Amino acid sequence: MKKDPQQILVELHPIFHDVFNDPSLTIKPETTADDIGNWTSLTHMTLVAEVEKHFQCEFSFKEVMNFTNVGDMIQAIQHKLV
């Protein structure tokens, strides 16, 4: 099912809250790992797995490695949901 970027962003919020253990976290497409203290290589793969589970999609290794910000992730999800 197709979703617009804003809707994906809204759905990503609880996943980020859970993975980064911070319910007050607000994310934007420009948000990068540097903006979130706990976004490390360890939490990155947990985040990927949780996002895949929620949106029922699968990212390639190259996609996972090339996520530079939340916007890249949203874009990749959008492509998978078409």
Partner 1 sequence: MPFNSLIFLIFLAVIAVLFYAVKNASWQKYVLLAASFLFAFYFNYLSGIALAVICVANYGLLKKMFLQEKNRKYLYHIGLGFNIAILLGYKILQDALSDSQIGNLTGFDNSRWIVLGIGFYTLQIIGYYEEVYRRNATFHVTMSDFTLGVTFFSKLPAGPILNLKDNRQLVIKEPVLFSEARFSYALQRILLGLFKKMALADRLMPYVNGIFDKHTYHNGLMIYLGPILFTVQVYLDFSAYIDIAIGSARLFGINLPENFRMPLRAASIVDFWRRWHISLVSWLTNYIFYPVSYRYRKMRKKGLAIAILCTFIVSALWHGIAITFLIWAACHFTYIIVENLIFPKAKTDSGRHSRLAKIAGVFVVWHLVTFGNLFFRSQSLENVGRLFHDFGHLPFLYGQGLDFRTWMINGGGEIESEFNFRLSFLLCLLFLAFEKKINEYAQSEKYNIVYVSLMLILIAVFGMFNTGERFIYLQF
Contacting range for partner 1; rule: CB under 8 A; set: 9-17, 34-42, 67-75: 34-42
Contacting range for partner 1; rule: CB under 8 A; set: 4-12, 32-40, 69-77: 32-40
Distance CA 27, CA 67 (A): 15
Give the list of residues 6+ apart from residue 76 with CB closer than 8 angstroms, or none.
59, 63, 67
**Residues of this chain, 40-59, that bind partner 1 according to CB under 8 A:** 40-42, 45-46, 48-49, 52
Query: Containing H/E element for 29?
Result: none
> Which chain residues interact with partner 1 by CB under 8 A?
21, 37-38, 40-42, 45-46, 48-49, 52, 61-62, 64-65
